[in-house]
Amino acid sequence: MPHTTFTTTTRGLRRDTPPMLLFERAKRFGVWNPSDLDLSQDKADWAKLSPEEKDIILRLTSMFVAGEEAVTLDLLPLIRVVANEGRTEEELYLTTFLWEEAKHVDFFSRVLTEVCEAPADLTVYQSPNYRRIVYEALPEALCALEADSSPRVQARASAVYNMIVEGMLAETGYHAYFTIMDRFGMMPGTREGVSKLKLDESRHIAYGVYLLSRLMAEDPSVWPTVEATMNDLFPVGLGVVTDIFSHYDPPPFGVTQDEFLGYAASQFQKRFQRIQRARDLSLEQVNEETRAILDANDA
Ligand SMILES: [Fe+2]
Ligand SMILES: [Fe+2]
C-alpha cells in the first residue's frame, strides 16, 4: 500500500503522548544487556540446592523463558496493525517492546544453560493450563489480527497478551523469584536480571492499559470482549499456579500455594479494575491517566 503522508513531515511527532513518553523511558531504562550479568555466584548457589529446590526453579524458569519466547514470536501482528493505522508514535515505542522481549528470552536462556545446567528439552514442565494460555490463547488472539484488525480483535489480543500473560502470569512469576531469592539471599545475578526485566514489563503493561483504554474510548462496544476474554482466562491463570504446586509436598523454600494464588488473583483484579474504569474516559482523559501511571512507575 503506498504512503499518502508521513507523521514527521505533516503534524510532527507528538512527544507528550503516552507512547512517546514510553519510548523515552525505554531508551533510558531498557538498554541493559543480559550478557553483562555476572552469574558466577548464582552457579555456586545452585550447586548447594536440594533436588526439589532445583526442580521448582527449573520449572519456573522453563515456563518463563518459553513465555518470553511466545510473546516475542506473537507480537508482530499487533505491531503491523498499529503501523497500518499510521500510529507512528505507537510503533516507535513498539520497536523497543519487541527488542525487550527478545532480551528477556536471551536472559532466561542464559540462566538455564549457565546456572541451572538444564537439559535442552524442558517441555515436561509446561502444564495443561500453561499450554492453554501460552501455546494456544496467546497465538490465537494475536494471529487473529492477520485476518481481522478491528478494534474488538485488537482489544482481545491486548487483553490476552498484556493483561493475562504479562499482567497476571509474568508478574506472579517475578514475585516467586523475588520471594525465593530474597528469603534465601541467593542467585544475585538472576535477581538483578529479573528486576530489570520487571521494569521493562511495567512499560509493556502500561502500554497495554493505554491501548485498551484508547480502543474503548474510540469504540465502547469492545468492552464485553475484553471482559469475557479476561474472565475466561482468569481460572486458567490460577490453574498455572496450582499445576506448579501439585508437584511438591511440602513445597520447597517454604513457599505456599495460597500465597501465590492470592498474588495472581490480586494482580488480575488490579488490571481488570483499571481497564473497567477506563470504559467511560475520553481520549484526552486516557492520555492523562496513562501519564499518571507512568509518573507513578517512575517514583
Ligand atoms: Fe518479557
Ligand atoms: Fe513484555
**Domain-located, residue 189:** yes
Distance 35 CA to ligand 1 centre (A): 16
For ligand 1, a single-atom ion, the residues with CB < 5 A are: 68, 101, 104
Whole-number Å distance, alpha carbon 203 to ligand 1 midpoint, is: 10
Measured CA to CA, the distance from residue 202 to residue 200 in angstroms comes to 5
Residue 279, pLDDT score: 87
How long is the chain?
299
* 31 domain residue, yes or no: no
Residue 114 CA to ligand 2 center (angstroms) comes to 23
DSSP H or E stretch at residue 4: none
pTM here is: 0.96
* Regions of the chain with pLDDT less than 50: none
Q: Would you say residue 285 lies in a domain?
A: yes
In a domain, 197, yes or no: yes
Residue with cell 503522508: 5
CA pair distance 37, 114, nearest whole angstrom = 11
Considering the domain boundaries, does residue 30 fall inside one?
Answer: no
- Block residue for cell numbers 521493562: 200
Structural domain includes residue 93: yes
Distance 155 CA to ligand 2 centre (A): 16
In a domain, 5, yes or no: no
Domain with 49 in it: 18-24+36-298
Centroid of ligand 1 to alpha carbon of 68 (angstroms): 5
10 Å CB burial of residue 61 (0-12, 13-18, 19+) is buried
Q: Rounded CA gap, 56 and 62, in Å?
A: 10
**How far does residue 72's CA lie from ligand 1's centre (Å)?**
8
Question: What does the alpha-carbon distance between residue 169 and residue 130 come to, in Å, rounded to a whole number?
Answer: 9
For 69, residues 6+ apart whose C-beta sits below 8 A from its C-beta are: 105
Distance CA 204, CA 199 (A): 9
pLDDT of residue 298: 83
Q: Ligand 1 centre and the CA of 250: distance in Å?
A: 30
Residues in Cβ contact with 64 at an 8 Å cutoff, skipping those fewer than 6 apart: 108, 170, 173
d(CA 274, CA 290): 11
The domain that contains 91 carries what CATH number? 1.10.620.20
DSSP 8-state code for residue 251 = P
Cell of 232: 475466561
- How many domains does the structure of the chain reveal? 1
Residue 264 vs residues 186, 259, 271: alpha-carbon distances, Å: 24, 9, 11
Are the C-beta atoms of residues 39 and 111 closer than 8 Å to each other? yes
Asked whether residue 69 is domain-assigned, the answer is yes
Q: Rounded to whole angstroms, how far apart are CA atoms 238 and 172?
A: 10
Beta-carbon count within 10 A of 165 CB: 25
Q: What pLDDT sits at residue 120?
A: 87
**pLDDT for the residue 47:** 97
> Hey, what's the cell of 156?
482481545
Q: Which ligand is nearest to the CA of 206?
A: 2
- Looking at residue 93, its pLDDT comes to 98
